[in-house]
Amino acid sequence: MQRKGTRIAAVMADVRSKIAARAYLPGTRLPSVRAQARAMRLSVSTVVEAYERLAAEGAVASRPGSGFYVAGPAAPLTLTDIGPRLDRAIDPLWVSRQALETGAGSLKPGCGWLPASWMYEAGMRRALRALARADTLELTDYATPLGHPALRRFLCRRLAATGVEAAPEQLLLTESGTQAIDLICRYLLEPGDTVLVDDPCYFNFHALLKAHRAHVVGVPYTANGPDLERFETALREHAPRLYITNSGIHNPTGATLSQVVAHRVLKLADAAGLAIVEDDIFADFELAPAPRLAAFDGLARVAHIGSFSKTISASLRCGYIAAPAGWIEGLTDLKIATSFGGGRLAADAVLTALTDAGYRRHMEAVRLRLAEAMDKTLSRLQALGIEPWLRPQAGMFAWCRLPDGSDAAAIARTCLKDGVILAPGNAFSQSQSAGDFLRFNVAQSADSRVFEVLARAIAAPP
Protein backbone atom coordinates (compact mmCIF):
# COMPACT_ATOMS: atom_id res chain seq x y z
CA MET A 1 0.00 0.00 0.00
CA GLN A 2 1.25 3.50 -0.84
CA ARG A 3 2.26 5.71 2.05
CA LYS A 4 0.30 8.93 2.58
CA GLY A 5 3.19 11.11 1.37
CA THR A 6 3.55 9.02 -1.78
CA ARG A 7 -0.18 9.31 -2.57
CA ILE A 8 -0.09 13.09 -2.15
CA ALA A 9 2.96 13.26 -4.42
CA ALA A 10 1.12 11.21 -7.05
CA VAL A 11 -1.76 13.71 -7.17
CA MET A 12 0.66 16.63 -7.41
CA ALA A 13 2.62 14.93 -10.19
CA ASP A 14 -0.58 14.25 -12.15
CA VAL A 15 -1.63 17.91 -12.00
CA ARG A 16 1.86 19.22 -12.79
CA SER A 17 2.18 16.95 -15.82
CA LYS A 18 -1.14 18.18 -17.23
CA ILE A 19 -0.12 21.80 -16.70
CA ALA A 20 3.24 21.16 -18.40
CA ALA A 21 1.51 19.41 -21.32
CA ARG A 22 -0.91 22.36 -21.55
CA ALA A 23 -3.89 20.08 -20.97
CA TYR A 24 -4.65 22.46 -18.09
CA LEU A 25 -4.18 26.03 -19.32
CA PRO A 26 -4.04 29.10 -17.03
CA GLY A 27 -7.44 29.71 -15.51
CA THR A 28 -8.56 26.10 -15.95
CA ARG A 29 -10.51 24.78 -12.99
CA LEU A 30 -9.02 21.59 -11.59
CA PRO A 31 -11.33 18.61 -11.09
CA SER A 32 -13.16 18.91 -7.83
CA VAL A 33 -11.56 17.32 -4.81
CA ARG A 34 -14.16 14.56 -4.83
CA ALA A 35 -13.87 13.94 -8.58
CA GLN A 36 -10.07 13.73 -8.39
CA ALA A 37 -10.33 11.41 -5.40
CA ARG A 38 -12.71 9.09 -7.28
CA ALA A 39 -10.56 9.16 -10.44
CA MET A 40 -7.37 8.25 -8.58
CA ARG A 41 -9.07 6.02 -6.01
CA LEU A 42 -7.73 8.07 -3.14
CA SER A 43 -9.21 9.71 -0.08
CA VAL A 44 -10.61 13.22 -0.24
CA SER A 45 -8.15 14.33 2.46
CA THR A 46 -5.22 13.20 0.30
CA VAL A 47 -6.40 15.26 -2.67
CA VAL A 48 -7.10 18.29 -0.46
CA GLU A 49 -3.55 18.19 0.91
CA ALA A 50 -2.10 17.79 -2.62
CA TYR A 51 -4.09 20.75 -3.95
CA GLU A 52 -3.10 22.88 -0.97
CA ARG A 53 0.58 22.09 -1.53
CA LEU A 54 0.26 23.00 -5.22
CA ALA A 55 -1.34 26.28 -4.15
CA ALA A 56 1.55 26.92 -1.75
CA GLU A 57 3.95 26.40 -4.67
CA GLY A 58 2.01 28.90 -6.79
CA ALA A 59 1.10 26.32 -9.42
CA VAL A 60 -2.61 26.67 -8.68
CA ALA A 61 -4.78 29.21 -6.88
CA SER A 62 -7.63 28.56 -4.47
CA ARG A 63 -10.91 30.44 -4.95
CA PRO A 64 -13.06 30.00 -1.84
CA GLY A 65 -16.37 28.40 -2.66
CA SER A 66 -15.31 27.71 -6.25
CA GLY A 67 -12.32 25.36 -6.21
CA PHE A 68 -8.74 25.35 -7.45
CA TYR A 69 -7.57 26.93 -10.72
CA VAL A 70 -4.33 26.80 -12.71
CA ALA A 71 -2.34 29.95 -11.92
CA GLY A 72 -0.15 32.27 -13.97
CA PRO A 73 0.69 32.35 -17.65
CA ALA A 74 1.51 29.16 -19.49
CA ALA A 75 4.97 28.03 -18.48
CA PRO A 76 7.41 28.42 -21.37
CA LEU A 77 9.26 25.41 -22.61
CA THR A 78 12.71 25.28 -21.07
CA LEU A 79 15.94 23.88 -22.40
CA THR A 80 15.90 21.19 -19.75
CA ASP A 81 12.65 19.93 -21.28
CA ILE A 82 14.30 19.34 -24.65
CA GLY A 83 17.82 18.42 -23.53
CA PRO A 84 20.98 20.31 -22.64
CA ARG A 85 22.46 23.00 -24.85
CA LEU A 86 24.92 21.26 -27.13
CA ASP A 87 26.31 24.51 -28.53
CA ARG A 88 27.50 26.01 -25.26
CA ALA A 89 31.21 26.78 -25.28
CA ILE A 90 33.27 24.35 -23.21
CA ASP A 91 34.34 26.90 -20.63
CA PRO A 92 34.99 26.32 -16.89
CA LEU A 93 31.24 26.12 -16.21
CA TRP A 94 30.41 23.71 -19.05
CA VAL A 95 30.75 20.50 -17.04
CA SER A 96 28.80 21.87 -14.07
CA ARG A 97 25.96 23.16 -16.22
CA GLN A 98 25.61 19.91 -18.15
CA ALA A 99 25.80 17.72 -15.05
CA LEU A 100 23.34 19.84 -13.04
CA GLU A 101 20.84 20.59 -15.80
CA THR A 102 20.36 17.16 -17.34
CA GLY A 103 17.84 14.64 -16.10
CA ALA A 104 18.29 11.53 -14.02
CA GLY A 105 18.59 9.35 -17.12
CA SER A 106 21.91 10.87 -18.16
CA LEU A 107 25.21 9.21 -17.30
CA LYS A 108 27.70 11.54 -15.60
CA PRO A 109 31.24 10.15 -15.60
CA GLY A 110 32.49 13.75 -15.82
CA CYS A 111 30.75 15.07 -12.71
CA GLY A 112 32.46 15.68 -9.38
CA TRP A 113 30.26 13.87 -6.88
CA LEU A 114 29.32 10.37 -5.79
CA PRO A 115 26.14 8.62 -6.95
CA ALA A 116 23.23 9.23 -4.60
CA SER A 117 23.28 5.59 -3.50
CA TRP A 118 26.86 6.03 -2.24
CA MET A 119 26.03 8.94 0.07
CA TYR A 120 25.40 8.71 3.81
CA GLU A 121 21.62 8.62 3.44
CA ALA A 122 20.89 6.54 6.54
CA GLY A 123 22.90 8.90 8.74
CA MET A 124 21.23 11.92 7.18
CA ARG A 125 17.78 10.51 7.85
CA ARG A 126 18.68 9.88 11.49
CA ALA A 127 20.03 13.43 11.76
CA LEU A 128 16.88 14.95 10.24
CA ARG A 129 14.64 12.94 12.54
CA ALA A 130 16.62 14.21 15.51
CA LEU A 131 16.36 17.79 14.24
CA ALA A 132 12.60 17.47 13.91
CA ARG A 133 12.52 17.13 17.71
CA ALA A 134 14.84 20.11 18.33
CA ASP A 135 13.76 23.23 20.19
CA THR A 136 12.20 26.14 18.30
CA LEU A 137 15.35 28.27 18.05
CA GLU A 138 17.27 25.43 16.40
CA LEU A 139 14.56 25.18 13.75
CA THR A 140 13.92 28.86 13.14
CA ASP A 141 16.76 31.18 14.18
CA TYR A 142 19.97 32.44 12.59
CA ALA A 143 23.29 30.94 13.57
CA THR A 144 25.94 32.92 15.42
CA PRO A 145 28.42 34.77 13.15
CA LEU A 146 31.21 32.17 13.42
CA GLY A 147 28.69 29.35 13.20
CA HIS A 148 27.59 26.37 15.28
CA PRO A 149 30.02 26.24 18.27
CA ALA A 150 29.83 22.47 18.79
CA LEU A 151 30.52 21.76 15.11
CA ARG A 152 33.48 24.14 15.13
CA ARG A 153 34.96 22.40 18.16
CA PHE A 154 34.45 19.02 16.53
CA LEU A 155 36.06 20.18 13.27
CA CYS A 156 39.09 21.45 15.17
CA ARG A 157 39.58 17.95 16.60
CA ARG A 158 39.24 16.42 13.12
CA LEU A 159 41.76 18.86 11.65
CA ALA A 160 44.24 18.04 14.41
CA ALA A 161 44.30 14.45 13.09
CA THR A 162 45.90 15.78 9.87
CA GLY A 163 48.29 18.04 11.79
CA VAL A 164 46.31 21.26 11.34
CA GLU A 165 46.13 22.95 14.74
CA ALA A 166 43.28 25.45 14.86
CA ALA A 167 41.44 26.97 17.80
CA PRO A 168 37.61 27.13 17.49
CA GLU A 169 37.84 30.93 17.21
CA GLN A 170 39.99 30.44 14.07
CA LEU A 171 37.28 28.44 12.37
CA LEU A 172 34.38 30.07 10.48
CA LEU A 173 31.47 28.02 9.16
CA THR A 174 30.24 28.80 5.64
CA GLU A 175 27.43 27.66 3.39
CA SER A 176 29.85 25.61 1.26
CA GLY A 177 33.46 25.17 0.24
CA THR A 178 32.79 27.48 -2.71
CA GLN A 179 31.52 30.21 -0.40
CA ALA A 180 34.63 29.76 1.73
CA ILE A 181 36.88 30.52 -1.26
CA ASP A 182 34.61 33.37 -2.33
CA LEU A 183 34.86 35.02 1.09
CA ILE A 184 38.66 34.72 1.08
CA CYS A 185 38.82 36.23 -2.41
CA ARG A 186 36.61 39.10 -1.28
CA TYR A 187 38.85 39.58 1.74
CA LEU A 188 42.22 39.47 -0.01
CA LEU A 189 41.78 40.48 -3.64
CA GLU A 190 41.25 43.63 -5.62
CA PRO A 191 40.32 43.52 -9.33
CA GLY A 192 43.47 42.87 -11.35
CA ASP A 193 45.36 41.07 -8.57
CA THR A 194 47.23 37.97 -9.72
CA VAL A 195 46.26 34.55 -8.42
CA LEU A 196 48.21 31.34 -9.03
CA VAL A 197 46.36 28.10 -9.71
CA ASP A 198 47.52 24.63 -10.60
CA ASP A 199 47.39 23.69 -14.26
CA PRO A 200 45.19 21.68 -14.40
CA CYS A 201 42.96 22.61 -11.46
CA TYR A 202 39.30 22.39 -10.44
CA PHE A 203 37.42 24.27 -13.14
CA ASN A 204 35.29 26.28 -10.74
CA PHE A 205 38.43 28.01 -9.44
CA HIS A 206 38.69 29.60 -12.89
CA ALA A 207 35.04 30.65 -12.88
CA LEU A 208 35.17 32.10 -9.37
CA LEU A 209 38.39 34.02 -10.00
CA LYS A 210 36.91 35.41 -13.20
CA ALA A 211 33.97 36.70 -11.17
CA HIS A 212 36.49 38.49 -8.92
CA ARG A 213 38.24 39.97 -11.98
CA ALA A 214 41.52 38.42 -10.96
CA HIS A 215 44.46 37.85 -13.27
CA VAL A 216 45.00 34.09 -13.23
CA VAL A 217 48.35 32.41 -13.85
CA GLY A 218 48.63 28.63 -14.14
CA VAL A 219 51.55 26.62 -12.74
CA PRO A 220 52.04 23.12 -14.21
CA TYR A 221 51.12 20.40 -11.74
CA THR A 222 53.26 17.30 -11.33
CA ALA A 223 52.66 13.96 -9.61
CA ASN A 224 54.09 15.47 -6.38
CA GLY A 225 52.64 18.98 -6.46
CA PRO A 226 53.24 22.20 -8.40
CA ASP A 227 56.32 22.41 -10.62
CA LEU A 228 58.66 24.23 -8.22
CA GLU A 229 60.78 25.91 -10.89
CA ARG A 230 57.71 27.29 -12.67
CA PHE A 231 56.15 28.22 -9.31
CA GLU A 232 59.22 30.27 -8.38
CA THR A 233 59.26 31.92 -11.81
CA ALA A 234 55.59 32.87 -11.48
CA LEU A 235 56.24 34.44 -8.08
CA ARG A 236 59.10 36.48 -9.49
CA GLU A 237 57.38 37.59 -12.70
CA HIS A 238 53.80 38.15 -11.54
CA ALA A 239 53.96 39.03 -7.80
CA PRO A 240 50.73 37.09 -7.08
CA ARG A 241 48.57 37.84 -4.06
CA LEU A 242 47.14 34.33 -3.64
CA TYR A 243 47.66 30.67 -4.57
CA ILE A 244 44.68 28.24 -4.59
CA THR A 245 45.33 24.50 -4.58
CA ASN A 246 44.36 21.04 -3.29
CA SER A 247 47.00 19.27 -1.27
CA GLY A 248 45.12 16.15 -0.18
CA ILE A 249 43.60 14.51 -3.24
CA HIS A 250 44.19 16.84 -6.15
CA ASN A 251 41.32 17.67 -8.50
CA PRO A 252 41.40 16.69 -11.37
CA THR A 253 44.61 14.62 -11.38
CA GLY A 254 44.23 12.54 -8.21
CA ALA A 255 47.86 13.35 -7.36
CA THR A 256 49.16 13.80 -3.81
CA LEU A 257 51.40 16.60 -2.57
CA SER A 258 54.78 15.42 -1.29
CA GLN A 259 56.40 16.71 1.90
CA VAL A 260 59.45 17.99 0.02
CA VAL A 261 57.34 20.03 -2.40
CA ALA A 262 55.08 21.27 0.41
CA HIS A 263 58.02 22.63 2.41
CA ARG A 264 59.53 24.31 -0.64
CA VAL A 265 56.20 25.91 -1.64
CA LEU A 266 55.81 27.37 1.84
CA LYS A 267 59.38 28.70 1.87
CA LEU A 268 58.83 30.41 -1.49
CA ALA A 269 55.44 31.75 -0.38
CA ASP A 270 56.89 33.18 2.81
CA ALA A 271 59.63 35.00 0.92
CA ALA A 272 57.11 36.40 -1.58
CA GLY A 273 54.40 37.35 0.93
CA LEU A 274 51.99 34.96 -0.79
CA ALA A 275 48.74 33.82 0.85
CA ILE A 276 47.50 30.28 0.14
CA VAL A 277 44.08 28.66 0.10
CA GLU A 278 44.19 24.90 0.60
CA ASP A 279 40.96 23.26 -0.57
CA ASP A 280 40.58 19.96 1.29
CA ILE A 281 37.05 18.80 0.49
CA PHE A 282 38.18 15.24 -0.39
CA ALA A 283 39.92 14.56 2.93
CA ASP A 284 37.60 11.73 3.98
CA PHE A 285 38.42 9.75 0.82
CA GLU A 286 42.11 9.42 1.72
CA LEU A 287 43.49 6.09 2.85
CA ALA A 288 46.27 7.92 4.75
CA PRO A 289 46.57 11.69 5.28
CA ALA A 290 48.77 13.48 2.76
CA PRO A 291 50.89 16.45 3.85
CA ARG A 292 48.86 19.58 4.53
CA LEU A 293 50.28 23.04 3.86
CA ALA A 294 48.25 24.40 6.75
CA ALA A 295 49.85 21.87 9.10
CA PHE A 296 53.41 22.83 8.16
CA ASP A 297 52.52 26.52 8.10
CA GLY A 298 50.58 26.61 11.39
CA LEU A 299 47.83 28.70 9.75
CA ALA A 300 50.20 31.65 9.42
CA ARG A 301 49.54 32.39 5.74
CA VAL A 302 47.53 29.32 4.69
CA ALA A 303 43.73 29.12 4.94
CA HIS A 304 42.40 25.57 5.05
CA ILE A 305 38.85 24.97 3.77
CA GLY A 306 36.52 22.01 3.56
CA SER A 307 32.90 20.92 3.19
CA PHE A 308 30.72 17.82 3.38
CA SER A 309 28.87 17.87 0.06
CA LYS A 310 31.00 15.00 -1.30
CA THR A 311 30.46 12.55 1.57
CA ILE A 312 27.28 13.42 3.48
CA SER A 313 24.94 15.49 1.32
CA ALA A 314 25.21 18.14 -1.39
CA SER A 315 21.69 19.21 -0.48
CA LEU A 316 22.70 20.42 2.99
CA ARG A 317 25.23 23.16 2.33
CA CYS A 318 27.89 23.41 5.00
CA GLY A 319 31.59 24.24 4.79
CA TYR A 320 34.28 25.92 6.83
CA ILE A 321 37.43 28.03 6.80
CA ALA A 322 40.30 27.50 9.24
CA ALA A 323 42.25 30.71 8.76
CA PRO A 324 45.06 32.80 10.20
CA ALA A 325 43.78 34.48 13.35
CA GLY A 326 44.13 37.95 11.86
CA TRP A 327 41.76 37.10 9.02
CA ILE A 328 38.79 35.87 11.04
CA GLU A 329 37.18 39.18 12.00
CA GLY A 330 37.29 40.47 8.42
CA LEU A 331 35.98 37.20 7.01
CA THR A 332 33.19 37.15 9.57
CA ASP A 333 32.14 40.68 8.62
CA LEU A 334 32.07 39.66 4.95
CA LYS A 335 29.99 36.59 5.78
CA ILE A 336 27.45 38.74 7.62
CA ALA A 337 27.39 41.26 4.76
CA THR A 338 26.81 38.62 2.10
CA SER A 339 24.74 35.94 3.84
CA PHE A 340 23.95 37.39 7.28
CA GLY A 341 24.11 34.82 10.06
CA GLY A 342 23.97 31.62 8.05
CA GLY A 343 21.74 28.68 8.89
CA ARG A 344 21.63 26.39 11.89
CA LEU A 345 19.89 23.39 10.39
CA ALA A 346 22.65 22.34 8.00
CA ALA A 347 25.35 22.62 10.66
CA ASP A 348 23.23 20.68 13.16
CA ALA A 349 22.55 17.93 10.63
CA VAL A 350 26.21 17.68 9.60
CA LEU A 351 27.40 17.47 13.21
CA THR A 352 24.84 14.78 14.00
CA ALA A 353 25.86 12.79 10.91
CA LEU A 354 29.60 13.13 11.54
CA THR A 355 29.29 11.98 15.14
CA ASP A 356 26.92 9.15 14.25
CA ALA A 357 28.41 5.73 14.98
CA GLY A 358 27.91 4.66 11.36
CA TYR A 359 29.82 7.44 9.57
CA ARG A 360 33.27 5.93 10.02
CA ARG A 361 32.08 2.54 8.77
CA HIS A 362 30.27 4.21 5.87
CA MET A 363 33.42 5.98 4.71
CA GLU A 364 35.48 2.81 5.04
CA ALA A 365 33.02 1.13 2.69
CA VAL A 366 33.09 4.09 0.27
CA ARG A 367 36.90 4.04 0.13
CA LEU A 368 36.82 0.32 -0.65
CA ARG A 369 34.21 0.82 -3.36
CA LEU A 370 36.25 3.64 -4.89
CA ALA A 371 39.38 1.48 -5.01
CA GLU A 372 37.45 -1.26 -6.79
CA ALA A 373 35.82 1.25 -9.15
CA MET A 374 39.22 2.77 -9.95
CA ASP A 375 40.61 -0.61 -10.98
CA LYS A 376 37.61 -1.46 -13.16
CA THR A 377 37.34 1.97 -14.77
CA LEU A 378 41.02 2.27 -15.65
CA SER A 379 40.99 -1.23 -17.11
CA ARG A 380 38.00 -0.42 -19.33
CA LEU A 381 39.50 2.90 -20.39
CA GLN A 382 42.84 1.32 -21.27
CA ALA A 383 40.99 -1.12 -23.52
CA LEU A 384 39.91 1.96 -25.51
CA GLY A 385 43.45 3.33 -25.67
CA ILE A 386 42.81 5.88 -22.90
CA GLU A 387 45.70 6.01 -20.43
CA PRO A 388 45.78 7.46 -16.88
CA TRP A 389 48.26 10.29 -16.26
CA LEU A 390 48.95 8.55 -12.96
CA ARG A 391 47.22 5.94 -10.86
CA PRO A 392 45.66 7.80 -7.89
CA GLN A 393 46.25 6.46 -4.39
CA ALA A 394 42.67 7.32 -3.39
CA GLY A 395 39.62 9.33 -4.39
CA MET A 396 37.18 9.29 -7.28
CA PHE A 397 39.09 11.03 -10.10
CA ALA A 398 41.25 9.66 -12.91
CA TRP A 399 42.97 12.18 -15.22
CA CYS A 400 43.36 10.39 -18.54
CA ARG A 401 44.91 11.04 -21.93
CA LEU A 402 42.94 10.13 -25.04
CA PRO A 403 44.47 8.32 -28.03
CA ASP A 404 46.71 10.42 -30.29
CA GLY A 405 44.84 12.94 -32.38
CA SER A 406 41.73 12.97 -30.20
CA ASP A 407 39.95 16.21 -29.29
CA ALA A 408 38.40 15.92 -25.84
CA ALA A 409 35.97 18.80 -26.40
CA ALA A 410 34.66 17.31 -29.65
CA ILE A 411 34.31 13.88 -28.05
CA ALA A 412 32.47 15.40 -25.08
CA ARG A 413 29.96 17.12 -27.39
CA THR A 414 29.42 13.91 -29.34
CA CYS A 415 28.88 11.87 -26.18
CA LEU A 416 26.49 14.48 -24.79
CA LYS A 417 24.10 13.78 -27.66
CA ASP A 418 23.89 10.20 -26.34
CA GLY A 419 23.31 11.31 -22.74
CA VAL A 420 26.88 10.84 -21.46
CA ILE A 421 28.42 13.89 -19.77
CA LEU A 422 32.20 14.05 -19.86
CA ALA A 423 34.71 16.53 -18.42
CA PRO A 424 37.07 17.81 -21.17
CA GLY A 425 40.61 18.64 -20.09
CA ASN A 426 40.76 22.26 -21.18
CA ALA A 427 37.93 23.14 -18.79
CA PHE A 428 40.57 22.55 -16.09
CA SER A 429 43.58 24.11 -17.83
CA GLN A 430 44.50 27.79 -17.66
CA SER A 431 47.02 27.30 -20.48
CA GLN A 432 44.53 25.30 -22.58
CA SER A 433 47.16 22.57 -22.89
CA ALA A 434 44.91 19.62 -21.90
CA GLY A 435 42.89 19.31 -25.09
CA ASP A 436 43.48 15.54 -25.24
CA PHE A 437 42.57 14.83 -21.60
CA LEU A 438 39.35 13.86 -19.85
CA ARG A 439 38.65 13.65 -16.12
CA PHE A 440 36.70 10.54 -15.16
CA ASN A 441 34.75 10.02 -11.95
CA VAL A 442 35.18 6.29 -11.37
CA ALA A 443 32.17 6.13 -9.04
CA GLN A 444 29.98 7.38 -11.90
CA SER A 445 31.50 5.08 -14.54
CA ALA A 446 29.96 1.70 -13.71
CA ASP A 447 27.44 1.66 -16.56
CA SER A 448 28.79 -0.08 -19.68
CA ARG A 449 27.02 2.49 -21.87
CA VAL A 450 29.68 5.04 -20.83
CA PHE A 451 32.35 3.03 -22.60
CA GLU A 452 30.16 2.07 -25.56
CA VAL A 453 29.31 5.71 -26.27
CA LEU A 454 32.91 6.78 -25.68
CA ALA A 455 34.25 4.11 -28.06
CA ARG A 456 31.91 5.29 -30.84
CA ALA A 457 32.90 8.91 -30.29
CA ILE A 458 36.62 8.10 -30.45
CA ALA A 459 36.14 6.05 -33.62
CA ALA A 460 33.97 8.67 -35.35
CA PRO A 461 35.68 10.69 -38.09
CA PRO A 462 36.60 14.27 -37.08
Instruction: Give the span between the Cα atoms of 48 and 35, in whole angstroms.
Output: 11
**Is residue 76's pLDDT more than 60?**
no
Residues 389-443: tens digit of each pLDDT: 999 999 999 999 999 999 999 999 999 889 999 999 999 999 999 999 999 999 9
* Res. 119 pLDDT band, cuts 50 70 90: very high
Which residue type sits at 252?
P
Instruction: Give the span between the Cα atoms of 272 and 217, in whole angstroms.
Output: 16
Residues 337-366: tens digit of each pLDDT: 988 877 788 999 999 999 998 999 999 999
In this predicted structure, which of 2-11, 31-40, 262-271, 420-429 has the lowest mean pLDDT? 2-11
**Is residue 81's pLDDT more than 80?**
no
Strands (E), 185-265: 194-199, 215-222, 225-226, 242-246
- What is the H or E stretch that residue 98 is in? helix 94-101
Please tell me the predicted confidence (pLDDT) of residue 77: 41
Residues 215-245: tens digit of each pLDDT: 999 999 999 999 999 999 999 999 999 999 9
* Res. 373 pLDDT band, cuts 50 70 90: very high
Please tell me the predicted confidence (pLDDT) of residue 254: 97
Residues 162-199: tens digit of each pLDDT: 899 999 999 999 999 999 999 999 999 999 999 999 99
Residues 280-303: tens digit of each pLDDT: 999 999 998 899 999 999 999 999
Please tell me the chain's helix, strand, coil percentages from 3-state DSSP, rounded to the nearest 5.
45, 15, 40
